[in-house]
Every structure is written in C-alpha cells, then in structure tokens.
C-alpha cells in the first residue's frame, strides 16, 4: 500500500475520540417520548396530504427486515435470529397491512425517489418473497426514474442468480457487509465469509450494471491490530467499491446482549483504534476516494461524492443521501421515520408490532413533535453535516431569528474549534475547514441543546 500522510494528526484524533450523536436526525432518537402515539402519527400523515408543498416532494421509504440466520457478535441492530424462513411470509403480510394504513390516509401513487431495505438481513427473504414485497410496494407507490433504490447484502446469503433477481426488481445500489477480511477477526465475531466470495460477488454485481456498490467496514473488533487491518484496507482498495462506510466498533455489552459473547481481552486498545482510523484515512484518500463525511468515502464520480461537491448532500435516518430532503415512511418492526416536523418509531418486538396492526392501528410506540427551537437547530446542524457551512442570513430569513444573538453561547464555544483550524468564523457564516470536515460531528454538537443540558454521552457511539 502506498504511504500517504493522513490529513489529520493522531493527536487530534485522540482529542476527539469522544462519544456523540450521529445526527441522522435532530433531536436524536434518544429524545423520543412515549407520549407521541399512533394518533399523532396519523395526524402528521393527514397534514402531509393537505400540504401542497409536501406533496410536491417525493417520499423516501425504509423497510426493516429483522431476520438473520446467524448472530454476529458485534451487532447492535434490531434483529431476530432464526432459521425458520416461514416467519418471513407472515412478516410480509403485516408489512402489507402497514402500507395499507398509510395509503388510506395519503392515497396510492405517491412518488418515491429513495428506497432502502435494511436489517437484519434483507436477503433472508427468498427471491419469490422479495418479488412479492416489491410488487406490493409498486402497487401502492410510484417509483421515480433515477431514484436511489438500495438493499443491504449479507454475502453469505446470495449468489449470482440472486443478483439477477435484485437487478430485475429495480435495485440499483448494493451494500455488502464485510467488516473485516481477516479470518481470525471473522471467527472472533462469528461472521466467517472468505474474501474470495465477496470479490466474486462484487465483480458479478458490476457486470450486471448496479450503479453503486458499498462496502461496510468496522475497526475496533476483537483480534484486530493496525497491521492486520492494513491487510483488509489493501484488499478493499483492490476491490475498489464505489463507496466505503467505515465505522468504529462501540463495545456496549450492557445494552446489546450479543456483544457479551465477545472476549474483551481480544479487543484492541484505544491507541490501536486511533492508529487503524489514521491508516484508513491515508489508505482510502491515497487510493483516490473522497471523504464524504461521517465515516463515508466515495469515488469521485460516485453520486454521493458528486452531491457533496455540488452542495446537494442530505442526511436522514439511513445516513447521507443524494436525494432531496423529504418525508421518510419507515415500515417494519423498530423502523424510524419522519413526517413533516415529527419523528416516529415503530414497536421493537414482533409481538407488539403484529398486535397493533391486528387492531388496525399504526405500530408507532414513540416519537417527537419538533419545537421551533428544534427546527432552527436542526437546520443549522444539517447544514454543517451536509454542506460544511451555514449562512447566518439563510437561518435568519427562514426562522425569523437573529443568528448571532440566538446562538451567542454557541458562537463563543466555536472559538476553540476555530483556534484548532476546524472551522472559520466569518462575518456571514460558519465554514467547516477541510481538516474540520473529519470532525464535523464535534462541530454539530456545539448546537445540540440536549447535550448542553445532559453531558451523559456514553449512550452514543464515538464521533470518529
């Protein structure tokens, strides 16, 4: 691998090796309340239907498929481990009921420009089940040409024939869960998948014309070292996916039961994790990848890199997106969505989810109606996270505030980041520097009112 100097120092990486929100929303999901119920969600949908501006924007859809055949020890997702594939058919029937509740309020044929199947393992579903599920969605929604239609892939559950099915169904983006190519690491986290298998599948996907292929990696897993991760980095550079998502492993066994199976003695030290991150930045940028932000890299001609370059980057519960900021309908157990100035989350267990739908109700169990202050802060945080700058005048005009007065304490707090060269405080706005882009979560955290009043950040992942 070519030696490339990392764009940031290990000292800065150590300083900002702290916990904080990922800002797929503001306020963050830990602020949702059980006082927000299904009736509140119904009202938000009805308001969408009556609002001409909302109807002009296409929808985003998220479908959560919770099933997995085997347990990955690092996993913090909502999943159900089972080899009983008949459970999928029942789940799809309930997804259909949930869609019907939506179309009863917003009508059929609403335009959709973004679809994401997440999990769990969406490829737990058989080809026929995927066909049936997509046919149901297409009966109820209108999928726009040129949209972003993606699905998460467990390489152990697909072959070239399944790739044909995914292409036939209209998926144009694939995300492969790799995490690490090292056999010892794979064994330690109970996810064994030979590198050759992934290389073969990616080559087959390219041959079938998928527009973008993403690979997920995790650093900080048991049995990893900077040297072993270098080998994985070299293999990923050789694989050359269009996008790379690089996440830090957060070991929280008190919250996530599967992680209790990980031998803590085998976890790398904090210093080793910093080294892995530093080497990853150097490796990917040395290979020509653009750092999109928040753990994401993309080749310069990928739509995500182009959107960043053109100032069209957006962010929702699935992360960075090229699609315009829009309402997100989230379907399935534990899914989180956004309609207008509200957020909502579905029941986290199948029993609760099925019971609500059996009674003809949305399975929403908690959520949030945003206040005016939430909306102002969300606008600032998302501008920083997506465009890397915020103009005072745009916030003043949109929310009828005086930015400098409204955020006087925040502007004072930003001085320390400015002295480190992470932001430039201009007369007309705030600009995140090229170096600061690697710490953009830290910049956004300055404007998070909830963090100002609650300094308990252990519930969040590390910001790097």
Known binding-site residue numbers for [4Fe-4S] cluster: 68, 72, 75
The full DSSP string for 67-90 is EESS--TT--S--EE-S-THHHHH
Give the max Cα distance, the chain: 61
Euclidean distance between CA atoms 341 and 102, whole angstroms: 17
Coil, strand or helix at 436:
helix
Euclidean distance between CA atoms 335 and 82, whole angstroms: 20
Tell me which residue of 72, 69, 277 sits closest to 185, measured CA to CA. Answer: 72
Sheet holding 429-432, edge to edge: 389-391, 429-432, 423-425
- Site of tokens 């003695």: 265
Residues marked as binding? 62, 68, 72, 74-76, 119, 152, 179, 191, 216, 250, 336
Contact between 380 and 395 (Cβ < 8 Å): yes
* Beta-bridge mates of residue 318: none
- Cα–chain-centroid distance for residue 175? 12
212-221 exposure pattern, b = at least 16 Cβ within 10 A, e = fewer: bbbbbbbbbb
Q: Which two tokens stand for residue 440?
A: 């953009």
Q: 124 — phi, psi (to 5°)?
A: -65, -30
Dihedral sign computed on CA atoms, order 299, 172, 101, 66 = negative
- Residue spans of beta strands (DSSP E) within 260-416: 290-293, 296-298, 314-316, 319-321, 328-331, 336-339, 342-346, 364-369, 389-391
Euclidean distance between CA atoms 384 and 386, whole angstroms: 6
Residues marked as binding for S-adenosyl-L-methionine? 62, 74-76, 119, 152, 179, 191, 216, 250, 336
Q: 175 — phi, psi (to 5°)?
A: -125, 115
- Cα–chain-centroid distance for residue 279? 23
- Site of tokens 């400098």: 404
Euclidean distance between CA atoms 326 and 267, whole angstroms: 40
User: Residue 391 class from Cβ within 10 Å (0-12 exposed, 13-18 middle, 19+ buried)?
Assistant: middle
Contact between 159 and 197 (Cβ < 8 Å): no
* Beta-bridge mates of residue 425: 430
**CB neighbours of residue 238 within 10 Å:** 11
Q: 161 — phi, psi (to 5°)?
A: -65, -40
Q: Are strands 59-65 and 328-331 parallel, antiparallel or unpaired?
A: parallel
Q: How many residues does the chain have?
A: 464
């Amino acid at each position: 691998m070519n030696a490339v100097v990392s764009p940031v120092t290990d000292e800065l990486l150590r300083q900002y090796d702290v916990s904080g929100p990922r800002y797929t929303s503001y306020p963050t999901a830990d602020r949702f309340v059980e006082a927000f119920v299904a009736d509140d969600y119904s009202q938000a949908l009805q308001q969408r239907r009556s609002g001409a501006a909302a109807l002009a924007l296409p929808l985003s859809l998220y479908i959560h498929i919770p099933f997995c055949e085997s347990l990955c020890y690092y996993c913090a997702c909502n999943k159900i481990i089972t080899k009983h594939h008949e459970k999928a058919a029942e789940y799809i029937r309930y997804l259909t009921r949930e869609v019907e509740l939506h179309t009863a309020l917003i009508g059929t044929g609403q335009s959709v420009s973004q679809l994401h199947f997440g999990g769990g393992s969406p490829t737990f579903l058989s080809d026929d089940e995927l066909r049936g599920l997509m046919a149901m969605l297409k009966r109820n929604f209108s999928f726009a040409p040129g949209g972003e239609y993606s699905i998460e892939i467990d390489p152990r559950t697909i072959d070239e024939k399944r790739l044909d099915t995914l292409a036939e169904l209209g998926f144009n983006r694939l995300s492969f869960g790799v995490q690490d190519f090292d056999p010892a690491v794979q064994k330690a986290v109970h996810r064994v998948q030979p590198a050759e298998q992934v290389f073969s599948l990616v080559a087959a996907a390219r041959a079938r014309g998928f527009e973008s292929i993403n690979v997920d990696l995790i650093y900080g897993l048991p049995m990893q070292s900077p040297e072993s991760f270098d080998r994985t980095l070299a293999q990923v550079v050789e694989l050359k996916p269009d996008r790379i998502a690089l996440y830090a492993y957060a070991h929280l066994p008190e919250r996530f039961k599967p992680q209790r199976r990980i031998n803590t003695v085998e976890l790398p030290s904090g210093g080793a994790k910093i080294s892995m991150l530093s080497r990853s930045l150097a490796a990917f940028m040395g290979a020509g990848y653009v750092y999109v932000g928040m753990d994401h890299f993309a080749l310069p001609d990928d739509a995500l890199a182009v959107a960043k370059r053109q100032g069209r980057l957006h962010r929702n519960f699935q992360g960075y997106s090229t699609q315009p900021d829009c309402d997100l309908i989230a379907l399935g157990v534990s899914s989180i969505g956004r309609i207008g100035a509200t957020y909502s989350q579905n029941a986290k267990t199948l029993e609760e989810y099925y019971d609500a739908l059996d009674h003809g109700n949305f399975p929403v169990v908690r959520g949030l109606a945003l206040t005016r202050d939430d909306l102002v802060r969300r606008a600032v945080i998302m501008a920083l996270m997506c465009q890397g700058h915020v103009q005072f005048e745009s916030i003043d005009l949109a929310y009828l505030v005086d930015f400098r007065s409204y955020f006087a304490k925040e502007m004072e707090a930003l001085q320390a980041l400015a002295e480190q060269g992470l932001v430039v405080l201009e007369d007309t706005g705030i600009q995140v520097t090229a170096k600061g882009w690697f710490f953009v979560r830290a910049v956004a955290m300055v404007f998070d009112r909830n963090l100002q009043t609650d300094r308990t950040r252990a519930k969040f992942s590390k910001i790097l």
